[in-house]
Amino acid sequence: MNRQLAFDLPARAALRREDFFPSPANALALATLETSEAWPQRRMLLIGPAGSGKTHLAHIWAAGAGAALMEGAALASADIDRRSQTAVVLEDAEAVAGDPRAEAALFHLHNRLAERRLPLLLTASLPVRDWGLQLPDLISRLQAVAVTRIEPPDDALLTAVLVKLFADRQLAVPPALIGWLTLRMDRSLAAARDLVAQLDAEALARGGPVTRALAAEILGANPGSLDSD
């Protein structure tokens, strides 16, 4: 693909199991989701910071469980009885907090799935106690849900995520640049996502490749030797 002639199309993330990179940071969460038959009361809350891989894990689990994917921000207007005919993934579940209709919808979704003995996976960036929920019955139910977490990324995970993010955008970069970025960028997966998006947009605007000099300009770092770019 000729990047100089490309339209600025949104990247398509690969969210299959084979595209997921296991590491010490996410191994426990991955193992927990792969043994969902052992979840207490068929409920699980997956907690992790923005960009940590929650959506990827949720899609892997949904594919295996035949689950419907829902967003917390859209729950207030959802047909709960229809959507609770299968297992459910509710992403960004904390978005229901403060909206009486959304909180009531999650309460009913939880109960409908329990009645039908179907599993529910919630994803969030914070524990339930920090969501700001107002409905007491919902609070008591969600506080009883088991929790698994994605920890901050180690070097191996950060490297793998950068490689995947560049691949999702069909950008070929030198391996040495990946290591260079890993040492200098903010150490979060959200930062990795934002950095790759900036590099892609700037390279496209300039009609050239992603180089260490470009990365250094964006990061405000010393590019060092540019021989490998």
- Give, to the nearest 10 degrees, the angle between helix 189-206 and helix 155-168: 40
In which domain, by residue range, is 69 found?
26-149
| H or E element at residue 227 | none
What's the pLDDT at 105?
Answer: 97
What's the pLDDT at 224?
Answer: 64
Cβ atoms of 29 and 148 within 8 Å: the answer is: yes
Looking at the structure, do residues 117 and 173 belong to the same domain, yes or no? Answer: no
Average pLDDT over residues 118-142: 97
Q: Is the pLDDT of residue 1 over 80?
A: no
User: Which residue is listed with tokens 């900036």?
Assistant: 198
Average pLDDT over residues 98-114: 97
Q: Is the pLDDT of residue 22 over 80?
A: no
167 token code pair = 């691949």
151 token code pair = 């920890």
What's the pLDDT at 68?
Answer: 95
Among the listed residues 192, 191, 202, 204, the one whose alpha carbon sits nearest the alpha carbon of residue 166: 192
Looking at the structure, do residues 89 and 175 belong to the same domain, yes or no? Answer: no
Cβ atoms of 106 and 41 within 8 Å: the answer is: no
Q: Is the pLDDT of residue 4 over 50?
A: no
Euclidean distance between CA atoms 30 and 51, whole angstroms: 16
What's the pLDDT at 153?
Answer: 82
How large a percentage of the chain has pLDDT more than 70?
A: 88
Euclidean distance between CA atoms 19 and 44, whole angstroms: 23
DSSP 77: G
Looking at the structure, do residues 77 and 167 belong to the same domain, yes or no? Answer: no
The predicted model scores a pTM of 0.73
CATH number of the structural domain spanning residue 214:
1.10.8
- For 179-212, the pLDDT digits (tens) are 999 999 988 888 888 999 999 999 999 999 999 9
What's the pLDDT at 217?
Answer: 93
Looking at the structure, do residues 142 and 171 belong to the same domain, yes or no? Answer: no
| H or E element at residue 55 | helix 54-65
